[in-house]
Amino acid sequence: MPTVPKEDTARRPRVLVLGGGFGGIGAAQKLKKSDVDVVLVDKHDFHTFQPLLYQVATALLEESAVGHPIRDLLHKQDNIRFHQDRVTSIDLDARRVTFAELEPQGYDYLVLGLGAEVNFFGVEGAAEHAFPLYTLPDAERLKGHVLTNWEEVDRRPTLAEDGALNIVVVGGGPTGVETAGALAELYEGDFHKKDYPDIPRESARIVLVEAGPDIFPMFKENLRTYTVEALTKRGVEVRTGEVVAAVSPTRVTLKSGEVLPAHTLVWGAGLQGNALVQSLGLDLERGNRIGVDEELRIPGHPEVFAVGDIAAITDKKTSQVLPQLGSVALQSGEHVGETIAQLAAGKKTKPFHYRDKGTMAAIGRRAAVVQMLAGRTMKGTKAQLTWATVHLALLPTNEARAKAVVDWTGAALTHQRPDRITVDPEEGREPVGAQRPTSKERS
């Protein structure tokens, strides 16, 4: 069992937490009452609630319901300091982390909670032209792009024939399905009927493309069938067994040779561990994740822990690697916080046990699926209420919960999308006489 280095026992142990996601925040908060000094670093000044990013991208939720100031989450904790900076390298042997601007930091305990990043699997043009949905800027970018396309078609209706309003969503997992469902509801609702009454509905297609034989492979067959029906009812074309081969700004080419005219491709097809893991000199698991032991320590470095999406944590009950989920990240982070608190107090530590609260996803209004550990399933309104309850509980503050409830209730009652505006932070900053290019000049 690791202990605080002997030569350092005169001072408080220093815990460096990298990443302010579910994992990092969970670890940091569990150290609140511990006799340690904690430093938390994240490249953003906000914590991102990724499960609801697609609701920002479809103008249902405002950004502050999904991005929460990290400093706010640490107000009640005296033993922590937060810095906004980017981690540039980690030297495990020297116990030293370097940053873009901060002075390098040493540590007694290190928590790696840097999350994952999008994997485009080398698909031609995807890195340049696809819209991933992993960060708040991703969600804002997608929303701005979709809203801008509608305004451009309003000015030049012939653009619709070129697929300007069509959206291809890649990936039949929760990110792809939830995003396709939400985009379809945006297109179906008042947004289309009242904002753009002159644009024919059939000129705006939403196509969900999945390489495998089924969407939602992690759910039971009855939930998979229900999901396809719910998406189809909302106007989503579900295409399974199709692989995206190339992406350009206006076209998506499938491996079969079919070309889909679409000016938007949303990438929900895969993740890999944060690129920094490549430089750690460790043998990585599938998806570039760091394999950890039952106390979530990394091989050969008992003072270093990996939590959340960056870690490959094997569930003791099933012997399977746990999925990249918010609940796994939060529970693993909290466990590591508790472990370090125990170590700092010279007490015994315990192995990590994941408490599975079920797998769930929302498809749209009154449509969701839930699968409990015991195999029980739910769908429809009941599943949506369960989904909402679990997600509200995961949100970091009561303020964020209140915002989500107000926006969800408003959307359910009025079909309104209150946040459908685009704000260009560069507007007005062009030199005098310079003009931003028009849609005509760009196409």
State yes or no: residue 13 binds ligand FAD (CB under 6 A). Answer: no
Residue from 111, 133, 223, 290 touching ligand FAD (CB under 6 A): that is: 133
Residues sharing a CB contact under 8 Å with residue 91, sequence separation 6 or more, in sequence order: 97, 98
Cβ closest to ligand FAD, residue 238 vs residue 329: 329
Residue from 4, 14, 39, 51 touching ligand FAD (CB under 6 A): that is: 51
Whether 353 contacts 46, CB under 8 Å: no
Cβ closest to ligand FAD, residue 153 vs residue 223: 223
Residues sharing a CB contact under 8 Å with residue 165, sequence separation 6 or more, in sequence order: 149, 150, 153, 187, 199, 203, 204, 205, 263
Tell me how far the alpha carbon of residue 342 is from its chain's centroid: 31
Give the binding range for ligand FAD (CB under 6 A) out of 35-43, 144-152, 186-194, 368-376: 35-43
Q: Report how far residue 323's alpha carbon sits from residue 106's, in angstroms, rounded to the nearest whole number.
A: 31
Residue from 60, 266, 312, 329 touching ligand FAD (CB under 6 A): that is: 329
Residue from 86, 193, 201, 316 touching ligand FAD (CB under 6 A): that is: 86
Whether 326 contacts 394, CB under 8 Å: yes
Near ligand FAD in 241-270, by CB under 6 A: none
Q: Report how far residue 279's alpha carbon sits from residue 287's, in angstroms, rounded to the nearest whole number.
A: 15
Query: How many amino acids of this chain bind ligand FAD (CB under 6 A)?
Result: 34
- For helices 174-188 and 221-233, the axis angle rounded to 10 degrees is 30
Instruction: State in angstroms the smallest separation of the CB of 303 from ligand FAD.
Output: 20
Cβ closest to ligand FAD, residue 153 vs residue 170: 170
List the beta bridge partners of residue 361: 369
Is the alpha carbon torsion for 338, 340, 345, 348 positive or negative?
A: positive
Residue from 308, 337, 364, 396 touching ligand FAD (CB under 6 A): that is: 308
State yes or no: residue 44 binds ligand FAD (CB under 6 A). Answer: yes
State yes or no: residue 138 binds ligand FAD (CB under 6 A). Answer: no
Give the binding range for ligand FAD (CB under 6 A) out of 38-46, 234-242, 258-266, 408-416: 38-46
Q: Report how far residue 321's alpha carbon sits from residue 299's, in angstroms, rounded to the nearest whole number.
A: 16
Alpha carbons within 13 angstroms on the beta-carbon side of residue 333 total 29
| Residue numbers at the binding site for ligand FAD (CB under 6 A) | 19-24, 41-44, 48, 50-51, 53-54, 86-87, 113-115, 133-134, 174-175, 274, 276, 308-310, 324-327, 329
